[in-house]
Structure 1
Amino acid sequence: MIARRNLLLGTGGLLAAQAIAPLAANARGFSREVHSLDPVTTAMRLRGSADGALTMSYLDAVREIMLDGEITPFCKLQAFVIARYVPVGDMFEAQILEVAYYTDPKTNQQLTSFTFPGIKEAVPVPKYRTGPITVRFANTLDEWEDVNPGNAGEASADFAPRSRVRLQRSVETPKIENDKLLIRTNEYGRAYVGASQKPAVFYREWIVYEAQADDVFGSTAPNIPAQYSYTAMSSWRPWMKMDGRNGHTTSNGRGRKIWTPAELPPELYALVEEHDPDLLDDPVGALARVATR
Structure 2
Amino acid sequence: MADPAGNLKAFVRTRASLGPEDTVVWWTGNVHAQVPGENFRQLFRFEGFSIGRIEEVDGGYRFLAREAAFYQDPRTGEILSTWANPVTGAEDEVLHIWNDPVNMELLLDGPRGPWRAPVTEVGDEVMWAQDILLAYPSPLPVADFPDNSADDMYRAAELFQFFCRRSDLDRADLASVPCRFSWARLSPWLPWMRMGGRPGGLVFHCHGTKLGGYDELPEHLRKYVAEHNPSYAHAPEEWSAPNETSWTYFRKRYPGGIGQEPPV
Q: TM-score category by the smaller chain?
A: 0.7 to 0.9
Q: How far apart, CA to CA, are the structure 2 residues paired with 1:171 and 1:129?
A: 30
1:175 lines up with 2:175 in the alignment: no
Q: Which residue of 1 is the match for residue 14 of structure 2? A: 46
TM-score when scaled to structure 2? 0.73
Would the aligned equivalents of 1:95 and 1:132 in 2 still touch at CA under 8 Å? yes
Q: Which residue of 1 is the match for residue 79 of structure 2? A: 110
Quick check: which one's helix share is greater? 1
Change (3 A) 1:117 1:106: closer
1:210 lines up with 2:163 in the alignment: yes
Instruction: Please point out which of 210, 216, 241 is paired with 1:257.
Output: 210
Change (3 A) 1:39 1:204: farther
Secondary structure of 1:60's match? strand
Change (3 A) 1:278 1:186: same
Q: How far apart, CA to CA, are the structure 2 residues paired with 1:127 and 1:181?
A: 33
Would the aligned equivalents of 1:80 and 1:100 in 2 still touch at CA under 8 Å? yes
How many Å apart are 1:138 and its aligned residue?
4.8
1:187 lines up with 2:132 in the alignment: yes
Instruction: Please point out which of 120, 129, 135 is paired with 2:104.
Output: 135
How many Å apart are 1:242 and its aligned residue?
1.5
Change (3 A) 1:211 1:131: same
Structure 2 residue identity aligned to 1:179: D
Please show how residues 82-93 of structure 1 align to structure 2 within 5 Å: 82-93=51-62
How many Å apart are 1:237 and its aligned residue?
2.5
- Structure number with greater CO (CA < 8 Å, separation at least 6) is 2
Deviations 1:211-238 (A, max 9, x none): 1210112326432111111111111232
Q: How far apart, CA to CA, are the structure 2 residues paired with 1:188 and 1:141?
A: 18
Structure 1 residue identity aligned to 2:163: E
Instruction: Please point out which of 70, 83, 89 is paired with 1:101.
Output: 70
1:239 lines up with 2:239 in the alignment: no
Change (3 A) 1:244 1:175: same
The number of residue pairs the alignment matches comes to 227
Q: In structure 1, list runs of 5 or more residues that go unmatched.
A: 1-33, 144-167
Structure 2 residue identity aligned to 1:85: I
Deviations 1:38-80 (A, max 9, x none): 4333222111113554211111121111112431111111112
Would the aligned equivalents of 1:52 and 1:87 in 2 still touch at CA under 8 Å? no
Q: How far apart, CA to CA, are the structure 2 residues paired with 1:84 and 1:245?
A: 39
Secondary structure of 2:2's match? helix
Change (3 A) 1:273 1:40: same
Q: How far apart, CA to CA, are the structure 1 residues paired with 2:138 and 2:231?
A: 34
How many Å apart are 1:246 and its aligned residue?
1.6
Q: Which residue of 1 is the match for residue 260 of structure 2? A: none
Secondary structure of 2:210's match? strand
Secondary structure of 1:35's match? coil
Q: CA RMSD in A?
A: 3.1
TM-score when scaled to structure 1? 0.66
Structure 2 residue identity aligned to 1:135: M
* Identity, % of aligned positions: 19
Would the aligned equivalents of 2:64 and 2:239 in 1 still touch at CA under 8 Å? no
Structure 1 residue identity aligned to 2:178: P
Would the aligned equivalents of 1:180 and 1:210 in 2 still touch at CA under 8 Å? yes
Q: Which residue of 2 is the match for residue 19 of structure 1? A: none
How many Å apart are 1:102 and its aligned residue?
0.6
Q: Which residue of 1 is the match for residue 2 of structure 2? A: 35
